[in-house]
Structure 1
Amino acid sequence: MKTVVIIGAGFCGAVTAAQLLRGTTEPINVVLLNRSGLMARGLAYGTRTDEHVLNVPAGRMSAFPDDEDSFLRYAQRFDADVSANSFVSRRLFGDYLEWITREAARRAPAGSRYRPIVGDVEQIQPLAAGARVRLAGGQQIEADRVVLALGNFAPADPRVETGSGDFYGSPRYVRDPWRADALWVARPDEPVFLIGTGLTMLDTLLSLRARGHHAPIHALSRRGLLPQAHRELEIRPVYTTGLPQRLPATPNVHDWLHALRHELELARTEDVDWRDIIGGLRGATPALWKSLSLRERQRFLRHLRTFWDTHRHRCAPALGRLLDAERADGSLSIHAGRVVGYDETQDGVEVLWRPRGSNRIERTAAGTVINCTGPESDTRSVREPLIAQLRDAGLLTPDELGLGLIVDHEYRLVDRQGHSSTTLHYVGPFLRAQLWEATAVPELRRHVSALAGVLLRSLTTAPTAVAALA
């Protein structure tokens, strides 16, 4: 019986397991490894905060590209009022992922095994046929195929001027707001300073308020841009899809931006919502990204990435209204600029920051500083032992821009010499390096489905590794 080990039990890991169990016609052994006990959850869907809702409507959150209403049907089992355009809790979506994995295991061919295991992978060693996966504590699993389904690592510490980095070892600093109980360090009566103004900032704001935090909150990013909100809709949106064909043929970020602005202006005069224009680019984005030179990609990341992210990755309408209310009553202050240092005292910390376009230094007092810059994706330097082991062994290749990993058309890791692995695969947000549009469920489910097909086809002809959990 063939063994597939999947490392990471968030959306991609859980759905890969489900697709393998659903798609096989022969018995299969699927091992799902996660360092925490939250299987089929990941960081986003393991939250216990009711205010954390999905950023995509329920009708577009199916795990399966061939069954678009899968999640909607599941959600309606618990609340008949949920519609395709409802923004439901992430906790419910985590329940759904757990359910589809269990159901796939129950319906798999006789003799199949599904083993969710809590453990931290320390090393992957390629073998003549397959690979050996070693866990902390000495346990080993022999696998025919290994899938890395990783991507959401703790944020990197923001760069500051020389001499201020010691603050990152302070108990008043939270590097990873998603770590269990990380936010309890913030006293409810003390101001909090959030570094970052995107979706992670919004989630952290919601978590703090749910814990009873009532003091002012400050949030700073380079441009001070907030996530845009989705519309309230009763039907599925209809995207305007003609723009990709009307973009200038020469792959040039400046010219494409000019064309997009022109399209948005036309849409405004014709009473077409700008979200439909951005949505119409979604399917074409991977091809557009691939056509850009390295220099043009660098220009996009330097000048336009933040604008794209705030318009492309939107929040639920209710959360957009909450942001407006927090700002209107002064509970939340948004700043544009850069942190340059910290002055910590017994009573708190003063954050030193330089406003955008200015040389002066502002000082903002806080009890806690929380890093909300979002998951680290630079596999060239990320502080993740397994990635470091594979990187140092030359078994994976980080991309030049620090966006993720290089894989081939069958999701196989490409090694330092440019060769595709016969055993190691990757699926997850690190595909952004080559496709850009590879972080949301509607895209990731297609990649997971394609990878599952690759694995099942390859395993029909591959010699079987000796499956053992020592």
Structure 2
Amino acid sequence: MSRLRIAIIGGGVSGTALAVHLLLRGAQTPDVTLIERGRRIGPGLAYGGSDQAHLLNVRANNLSISDHKPDDFSRWLSKRKGGDQSKTFAPRALYGRYVAEALQRAEGAHWFRRPLKRVRGDAVALRREGEGVEITLASGKTIPADKAVLALGNPAAIVPEPISSVEVIDAWDAAAIARVPSNSDVLLVGTGLTMVDVVLSLSKRPRSGTIYALSHRGLTPHAHADIPPAVQGTLAQSAPLSAALSELRNVARGVHERGEPWQHVVDGLRKATPTLWRGLTSEQQLRFLRHARSYWDIHRHRAAPEAAARIADLRKTGKLRILRGEVVSAGAAGRYIQIVHRQRGSMVRHRFDVANVINCTGASQNLARSRDPLVMQLLSDGLVRAHATGLGLDVNDDGGVLDARGAADTRLFALGPITQGAFWESTAVPEIRARAAALAAIL
């Protein structure tokens, strides 16, 4: 009997985690083809850099790639750095190395055959073929499979319209960021975790210029707390969304008043969040995204304490200034870029010049604006549909992709950030790991 053939499109953390879990199924391991457009399989965009100042925002003891060995990463890290590293926030680049090695170890366990095939290429089309699917690469090569998984990772950030008229540096372009002059001012658009990484890179050299970081509300990520006794958050699923969020704030306030970190109220809610999210109507989800998302993000997706402390120091000295509001216009002014900024809640406009503008708005899961040939083809052919929130693909509870009519095809699944609209919690390693294990069993 022929073995099941599974093609995974995307060799970042999501695709690699699924491949690892499939390879750990022993005699049940199918033939796996892992397709990645980049040079390296494993790290992906998030963990493929080399800047040691960029730290993980999850402690090492919760970052194993495998559900079967929850302490795998912390043990791996401790062997390399010495001592107990379970509670540390390691460099992101080091985690990328771990993910790649974890895949090699899982692959090496199959000494009697090689079930994993690595393919470097850009998947540009996927079509149903008989009872399976056929994937076409940009090179023209086709790959047949019985089932396919879209593990496309984080797409490129979209340049906001007001700054699209000038040259904008992508936050992931390390070479371009290294060329930003330290004696000139620079504007970062976006104030989340991507901004934190870019500021840490820019501030490695002494700066005489100012780093401006701007977002609509000017909110920045909170820091992780020291590890306290775990506190479980509560959120009434049956209550209206506004009442449920008010309850969460009250619980966190009570915990804080007792002298305990509020962070663990949010963390205690983590496993229940996908169920709570899927229990909301589409209208409620959209209301949450409009009014509460930015506040949720800074409390839920927190910075490593060392990174947060560095950001606080830079703000205190005036080297980093956080702006609220919007860019009204941006245009060339000699060797500089003139920014016109309107403060939130005010009609007054301010002008200042910067040498560079860096887009730190983060990955965009808005499929309507995607320029990925594969995503565009799948949408055009009706094989997939966007989630009602506009965040990624619409999938069922098992990760099965829903087509334009809302029907699930047992040949096509999705995993990772592209399922954010369906599960909300789908971008961090602990959630990706758990869903990869569940999907491996389903496949």
Q: TM-score band, normalised by the shorter chain?
A: over 0.9
Q: What amino acid maps onto 2:400 in structure 1?
A: R
| Shift, 1:404, TM fit | 1.4
2:154 counterpart (148, 152, 155): 152
| Whole-Å separation in 2 of the counterparts to 1:100 and 1:152 | 21
| Shift, 1:26, TM fit | 4.7
| Whole-Å separation in 1 of the counterparts to 2:145 and 2:238 | 46
| Partner residue, 1:444 | 432
Q: Is the 8 A contact 2:48 2:93 kept in 1?
A: yes
The answer as to 2:378 corresponding to 1:387 is: no
Q: Report the CA distance shift for 1:346/1:127 in structure 2 as closer, same or farther (over 3 A).
A: same
2:43 counterpart (25, 41, 44): 41
Q: Report the CA distance shift for 1:326/1:19 in structure 2 as closer, same or farther (over 3 A).
A: same
Residue aligned with 2:310, SS: helix
| Shift, 1:184, TM fit | 4.1
Provide the identity percentage: 34
| Whole-Å separation in 2 of the counterparts to 1:46 and 1:307 | 28
| Partner residue, 1:278 | 266
| Partner residue, 1:70 | 72
TM-score between both structures, scaled by the size of structure 1: 0.90
| Per-residue deviation, residues 160-192 of structure 1 (Å, max 9, x unmatched) | 3xxx7432xx3xx12x32145242452232211
Q: Is the 8 A contact 2:44 2:153 kept in 1?
A: no
| Whole-Å separation in 1 of the counterparts to 2:372 and 2:237 | 41
Gaps of 5+ in 1: 456-470
| Shift, 1:111, TM fit | 2.4
Q: Is the 8 A contact 1:230 1:314 kept in 2?
A: yes
| Shift, 1:430, TM fit | 2.3
| Shift, 1:265, TM fit | 2.3
Q: Report the CA distance shift for 1:386/1:185 in structure 2 as closer, same or farther (over 3 A).
A: farther
| Per-residue deviation, residues 91-144 of structure 1 (Å, max 9, x unmatched) | 221111111111111112622332222211111121012211111121221112
| Per-residue deviation, residues 357-389 of structure 1 (Å, max 9, x unmatched) | 001111121011111011011112222221111
| Shift, 1:241, TM fit | 2.0
| Shift, 1:159, TM fit | 3.0
| Whole-Å separation in 1 of the counterparts to 2:130 and 2:141 | 20
Q: Is the 8 A contact 1:222 1:356 kept in 2?
A: yes
Q: Is the 8 A contact 1:27 1:108 kept in 2?
A: no
Residue aligned with 1:314, SS: coil
Q: What amino acid maps onto 1:331 in structure 2?
A: K
| Per-residue deviation, residues 36-67 of structure 1 (Å, max 9, x unmatched) | 10210111111100111110000011112232
2:213 counterpart (207, 210, 219): 219
| Partner residue, 1:466 | none
| Shift, 1:248, TM fit | 7.0
Q: What amino acid maps onto 1:344 in structure 2?
A: A
The answer as to 2:391 corresponding to 1:403 is: yes
Q: CA RMSD, aligned part only? A: 1.8
Q: Is the 8 A contact 1:151 1:377 kept in 2?
A: no
| Partner residue, 1:58 | 60
Q: Report the CA distance shift for 1:210/1:44 in structure 2 as closer, same or farther (over 3 A).
A: farther
| Partner residue, 2:224 | 230
Q: What amino acid maps onto 1:249 in structure 2?
A: S
| Whole-Å separation in 2 of the counterparts to 1:109 and 1:221 | 52
Q: Which runs of 4+ in 1 moved over 4 A?
A: 211-214
1:249 counterpart (235, 238, 259): 238
Gaps of 5+ in 2: none
Q: Is the 8 A contact 1:53 1:87 kept in 2?
A: yes
2:180 counterpart (177, 186, 193): 186
| Partner residue, 1:418 | 406
Q: Report the CA distance shift for 1:242/1:338 in structure 2 as closer, same or farther (over 3 A).
A: closer
Q: Report the CA distance shift for 1:241/1:27 in structure 2 as closer, same or farther (over 3 A).
A: closer
Count of residue pairs the alignment pairs up: 441
| Partner residue, 1:104 | 106
| Whole-Å separation in 2 of the counterparts to 1:157 and 1:57 | 31
Using CA pairs below 8 Å that are at least 6 residues apart, which structure has the higher relative contact order? Answer: 1
